[in-house]
Amino acid sequence: MEIEARISKEWRRRMLFLFFMIFGMGVWFLSDGYLVWPKEGSRYQEFSEISERMIESGEATDAESEKVRMAWRRHAEEAEYPSKIPKERTESSINEQRVIGWVITVIAILFAAWVAWNHKRSVRAEGEIVIGASGERVSLDDIVEVDRKKCKDKGIAYGIYLVKGKRCRLTLDDHKFAGCEAIILEAERRIKERSK
């Protein structure tokens, strides 16, 4: 029996989706920390100056006043800012966005490296020997049972074999490594033959 079960297209697609989702979150936090929030922070300073000036002169009672809002809208239109009242963005909150962004980006890069490393792995059947993704070598005739409990939901089966009377598991993940099903079927065929 000669089979090499390599990374499946479905697993690769899922991992790429996860990578882009994580990386996108990192980019979102970084763009907030380096672009969006600093600009909003400076707009908030201008809004604060307008509201303080109007409160001191008695034109408005507080920053929530409709007169302050109208004054801001006029100022925003002249300066070509968004008309929405800006939120206060402190230096610490901006730095927090940057730190979160960098942490998530590093996680995304490490995740991409892990996915790339997994692409070098495979499950192989070479003659009578099955070589697992972690390099364990098990004879097909040493597999005494195939555990398919997770097969329906996750595509994972375990070839149970004994080492010095201890039960060990060889992971045969057909979802991740396309082609493992043929190895599983062969192991089951041999178990059935031995039980006759």
Beta-bridged to residue 6, according to DSSP, are 178
136-173 pLDDT, tens digit each: 999 999 999 999 999 888 889 999 999 888 999 999 99
Tell me, yes or no, whether 46 and 97 share the same domain: yes
We report the CATH number of the domain holding residue 156 as: 2.30.29
Domain that holds residue 159: 123-194
pLDDT of residue 196: 72
Q: At what angle do helices 66-79 and 37-57 cross, to 10 degrees?
A: 130
- Asked which of 95, 118, 141 is the last residue of a domain, the reply is 118
Tell me, yes or no, whether 74 and 39 share the same domain: yes
Which residue, 11, 13, 65, is CA-closest to 178? 11
Helix (H) or strand (E) run with residue 5 in it: strand 2-7
Q: What is the largest CA-CA distance in the chain?
A: 99
Confidence of residue 34 (pLDDT cuts 50, 70, 90): very high
Q: Which residue has the tokens 């099955």?
A: 130
Tell me, yes or no, whether 110 and 156 share the same domain: no
42-84 pLDDT, tens digit each: 999 999 999 999 998 988 888 888 999 999 999 999 999 999 9
- pTM more than 0.85: no
Tokens for 161, please give them.
Answer: 């074999």
What is the count of structural domains for the chain?
Answer: 2
